[in-house]
Chain A
């Protein structure tokens, strides 16, 4: 083994770097080669900044600036469209720079600021372009960049949007109930002696007719016709109590009192710790039960359905066994925003208590650093283990909506965030902010995107309301190239001979770790003079389990500050981490139906059985096989040769035939000697029942049957058969052989047997 190669292998195995062979990476400002294009994010168009929409029905709660600009540009037409497009894209870039520089405000504010910075006042063409495009921007709101504060800001904004809709519906319902209940009391009063008094009548009509109308006489007349079934006192009392409960609720601010409901301040539902949320929850639960009960009773009262005998006992026990999510749906959801850095043991236990409660509590668990070394010490990285563990435990509870995502992907997960916030149970949003990248000179966006790309912090969602099984509940497709171990991207560069070279590069966990300065000791740059064929890509080194002395050392392609290509070898510890990360990714793939081991085993078994069947068929028809090879089986008959994913359930092929009729209970065979009616075909025409209502009667569906064949004569049976509109009465044989005119009757009956 040559010296250089020996030094590489030694570094790989021990992490010790011989200074004469390998360079330290500290201070070289290296970053993965695939990051070469992402030096200045403000010059790129991507999902950030986001506009947190002010709200309005039908509007998304957040939209990316570039998305809004694209929509506005697509609406432009007429002359100078290209000019306008260039101007607007320049403006977008300017806004992005302002936001990255820390400027805050609404889109309108920053649009104007950026337009002024570009010289709108002096450039008429620019002013015209921006004016035209501005008309196409359909929403406004605060802008937020992808920074440490963004996840909480976005989730809270979405939560507020959901709560606003709930508050509107709740307020409307309470107002309706209040009005209707008050109307019931009012109607009771109007019917009472006081309501019909001369004084009240005069006040109702007004003073204009005082001289011409005798209200006392009218009162006397009305009093004589007071309704006898007076309004029960218990009902009056019950309605008054309902009005008190509805009027004093503190769950939503009443629409006309901005935050105050009849002087009582509305409850706060946003918390920064589980402990505080739990205390509030326990305190308020009796009020929830009281209000939910009042709403249910009020609806019955208004509908005129409340029956004391039936309902009093039911409502006495209301809520004693807890409230189910459907009952809690109209009430506000709790939101807890917390950071894993502050998640101590007690708080962790309370978090699990909350998630397993089934109550509509939404939790944002933000992680700023997923690469902190484990407290155990040497050899272990946390790699976001804490948040991953909590997300997995939450999924294990089955009824928790779980969403895990890097901050960079949250814009794409808007709909899923909203779905989690609207879910009628607990929801956990586990987000990696990417804030830790700052120490290594990387933006939060790039760090969080790299975490997702490298499978260090994969994105997924588990929605218990989406269906009965994992196939419908679990969503993994947000991750890049979900069926691969590591996503592969094309990398183009210019070599020493100024020739263009294109290469596919996998982005592995090691690339992500190489972005973080804390891991620089596990990396060593190989001087260009010592590059040799013993260096292989990290993903290649992970493909098989190597035993014995390695001949090749894993190496990363990185670029320095000048975008010059560098090769950096890594030590075994990072490779071990990458292997562990890949195994965890495999587990997620299985949950998502990608390379599912059960499905693949089943497929292999079916394929083998199919091949054996085909083989037996060929053997049992030797002549046929001698003449021609067996015809290939239809594609659908043979199991697929390979399956990357569990195939989704397919709909049954459309059939041209009439659908099978709905089965009916088999009717017992009727004896031709007995009289009977084909009751299900009776059209209730009354012919037979009018003839003899003892012999013929109607069943519970008002269709005729023979109730008592002895209750009439055979002549009546025959007459009924003849008059039946749908000919479904069968007279059978006469029971009385002495009945007069039997011979003629039997002849007439023949038609209906």
Chain B
């Protein structure tokens, strides 16, 4: 049933139409072959297809290769400080819930220095779409091991190979209270990358998408086994999640049915490193968003702002004794 009013329909006809170019800003400085390009294209397609107005869209990032993302989007952007993309994005959303807020963060930015913000952002479940560009290495600073670098990764900081098992961002995310959307995708299957980006955008709550991404410069071969063997990707199909197309299914035959509302199974699947699970692991639209819980519905009038400020100033005001006595 069409729930739009006649007025809304007519107004929609007057809506501005956007092209991909309307969201493109400058030539990306990423290395040729970098997986960030694929993510940028998928996100620009999303903006175009959803008709997101550039002035109503914000990309927030921290520090790292991936965090140059806002520079290449012709929307509002905030290239923040290391690990702090999420709190900035939360502030934006809290203040302007009408904006479409996206976060681009890397494995170092999110899973290392920003790990505390990551955990709490999940718990707050604000309506933000988060892309974790996980290339398993610090690329911008020329190859240092990140929390998600596979054990044995040789880098400038681990010349004899890294000693620790890689952190699994999916299992961490799925262990946090109030988690509401978790998906994983690889940058070299653009069709699914776009579908997941789209599903994440449409989810109301914090959508966390880990994108397993190649770094052709510093780890050029590390993902080759998965890139060249379609059987080493595990596609998650479900009527409530994504369904691989016929064309995709011809190449990627390793598929299972997974109900994204099943948290326990999502955790099991998330633990798999090989094959790499691709699709929506978990989705729960019932988890409340923090901005909704805290929305008092009151209008921010000048008088309200004034009284709020005065109340704050009063906390630090030293009243003359005479006035104090009079007030008493």
Interface residues of B in 1-53 (CB under 8 A from A): 3-8, 10-11, 14, 19-20, 28, 32-35, 37-38, 40-41, 44-45
Whole-angstrom CA separation of A681 from B246 in the bound complex:
14
A314 touches B10 (CB 8 A): yes
B243 touches A690 (CB 8 A): no
A686 at the interface (CB under 8 A from B): yes
Whole-angstrom CA separation of A703 from B189 in the bound complex:
12
Instruction: Report B-chain residues with C-beta under 8 Å of the C-beta of A307.
Output: 14
B249 touches A661 (CB 8 A): yes
User: With contacts A658-B256, A661-B244 known, is A172 near B297, CB below 8 A?
Assistant: yes
A410 at the interface (CB under 8 A from B): no
Other-chain contact of A726, B3, B34, B188 (Cβ < 8 Å): B188
B257 at the interface (CB under 8 A from A): yes
A683 touches B35 (CB 8 A): yes
User: With contacts A686-B37, A727-B228 known, is A664 near B246, CB below 8 A?
Assistant: yes
A300 touches B38 (CB 8 A): no
A296 at the interface (CB under 8 A from B): yes
Whole-angstrom CA separation of A656 from B35 in the bound complex:
35
User: With contacts A175-B299, A683-B188 known, is A723 near B33, CB below 8 A?
Assistant: yes
A694 at the interface (CB under 8 A from B): no
B214 touches A725 (CB 8 A): yes
Contact with A along B233-260 (1 / 0, CB 8 A): 0000111000111111100000111000
In the complex, what's the smallest C-beta–C-beta distance from B137 to chain A, in angstroms?
A: 16
B301 at the interface (CB under 8 A from A): yes
B227 at the interface (CB under 8 A from A): yes
In the complex, what's the smallest C-beta–C-beta distance from B197 to chain A, in angstroms?
A: 13
In the complex, what's the smallest C-beta–C-beta distance from A679 to chain B, in angstroms?
A: 10
Other-chain contact of A700, B3, B20, B301 (Cβ < 8 Å): B20
Interface residues of A in 661-695 (CB under 8 A from B): 661-664, 667, 680-687, 690
B55 touches A661 (CB 8 A): no
Whole-angstrom CA separation of A324 from B32 in the bound complex:
54
Whole-angstrom CA separation of A179 from B187 in the bound complex:
46
Count chain B CB atoms within 10 A of each CB in A656, A659, A723, A727 and give the residue with the most.
A659
B191 at the interface (CB under 8 A from A): yes
| B38 closest partner in A (C-beta) | A683
| A667 closest partner in B (C-beta) | B247
User: With contacts A681-B189, A685-B33, A703-B190 known, is A304 near B246, CB below 8 A?
Assistant: no
Instruction: Report B-chain residues with C-beta under 8 Å of the C-beta of A657.
Output: 257
Interface residues of B in 99-144 (CB under 8 A from A): none
B189 touches A702 (CB 8 A): no
| A702 closest partner in B (C-beta) | B41
A684 touches B41 (CB 8 A): yes
In the complex, what's the smallest C-beta–C-beta distance from A168 to chain B, in angstroms?
A: 10
User: With contacts A658-B237, A664-B247, A685-B32 known, is A327 near B37, CB below 8 A?
Assistant: no
In the complex, what's the smallest C-beta–C-beta distance from A26 to chain B, in angstroms?
A: 58
B6 touches A324 (CB 8 A): yes
B7 touches A690 (CB 8 A): no
Interface residues of B in 37-93 (CB under 8 A from A): 37-38, 40-41, 44-45, 55
In the complex, what's the smallest C-beta–C-beta distance from B259 to chain A, in angstroms?
A: 11
User: With contacts A326-B3, A662-B246, A680-B247 known, is A686 near B14, CB below 8 A?
Assistant: no
Whole-angstrom CA separation of A658 from B256 in the bound complex:
7
Instruction: Report B-chain residues with C-beta under 8 Å of the C-beta of A681.
Output: 188-191
Instruction: Report B-chain residues with C-beta under 8 Å of the C-beta of A329.
Output: 5
B216 at the interface (CB under 8 A from A): yes
Instruction: Report B-chain residues with C-beta under 8 Å of the C-beta of A610.
Output: none
Instruction: Report B-chain residues with C-beta under 8 Å of the C-beta of A327.
Output: 5-7
B187 touches A690 (CB 8 A): no
Other-chain contact of B248, A296, A311, A661 (Cβ < 8 Å): A661
B247 touches A304 (CB 8 A): no
B40 touches A684 (CB 8 A): yes
Whole-angstrom CA separation of A264 from B320 in the bound complex:
48
A661 touches B227 (CB 8 A): no
Whole-angstrom CA separation of A548 from B184 in the bound complex:
83
A310 at the interface (CB under 8 A from B): yes
User: With contacts A175-B299, A686-B37 known, is A725 near B216, CB below 8 A?
Assistant: yes
Whole-angstrom CA separation of A179 from B299 in the bound complex:
8
User: With contacts A324-B5, A701-B20 known, is A664 near B299, CB below 8 A?
Assistant: no
| A304 closest partner in B (C-beta) | B55
Whole-angstrom CA separation of A323 from B10 in the bound complex:
13
Whole-angstrom CA separation of A318 from B256 in the bound complex:
52
Count chain B CB atoms within 10 A of each CB in A683, A690, A727 and give the residue with the most.
A683
Whole-angstrom CA separation of A296 from B6 in the bound complex:
12
A659 touches B237 (CB 8 A): yes
A555 at the interface (CB under 8 A from B): no
Other-chain contact of A300, B11, B245, B255 (Cβ < 8 Å): B11
Instruction: Report A-chain residues with C-beta under 8 Å of the C-beta of B19.
Output: 700
B255 touches A658 (CB 8 A): yes
| B28 closest partner in A (C-beta) | A686
A365 at the interface (CB under 8 A from B): no
A287 at the interface (CB under 8 A from B): no
A176 at the interface (CB under 8 A from B): yes
Count chain A CB atoms within 10 A of each CB in B6, B35, B239, B257 and give the residue with the most.
B6
A146 at the interface (CB under 8 A from B): no
A292 at the interface (CB under 8 A from B): yes
Whole-angstrom CA separation of A702 from B190 in the bound complex:
11
Instruction: Report A-chain residues with C-beta under 8 Å of the C-beta of B227.
Output: 725-726
Instruction: Report A-chain residues with C-beta under 8 Å of the C-beta of B297.
Output: 172
Instruction: Report A-chain residues with C-beta under 8 Å of the C-beta of B238.
Output: 659
In the complex, what's the smallest C-beta–C-beta distance from A317 to chain B, in angstroms?
A: 9
B243 touches A661 (CB 8 A): yes
Instruction: Report B-chain residues with C-beta under 8 Å of the C-beta of A304.
Output: 55
B243 touches A662 (CB 8 A): yes
User: With contacts A314-B14, A664-B247 known, is A702 near B45, CB below 8 A?
Assistant: yes
Instruction: Report A-chain residues with C-beta under 8 Å of the C-beta of B193.
Output: 683
B10 touches A658 (CB 8 A): no
Contact with B along A304-344 (1 / 0, CB 8 A): 10010011001000100001101101000000000000000
Other-chain contact of B37, A176, A658, A685 (Cβ < 8 Å): A685
Instruction: Report A-chain residues with C-beta under 8 Å of the C-beta of B188.
Output: 681, 683, 725-726
Whole-angstrom CA separation of A667 from B238 in the bound complex:
25
25 A-B contact pairs sorted by A residue (CB < 8 Å): A172-B297, A172-B299, A176-B299, A179-B299, A296-B11, A311-B11, A329-B5, A659-B237, A661-B245, A661-B249, A662-B244, A664-B246, A680-B191, A681-B190, A681-B191, A683-B38, A684-B38, A684-B41, A685-B34, A700-B20, A702-B20, A702-B41, A702-B44, A725-B214, A727-B228
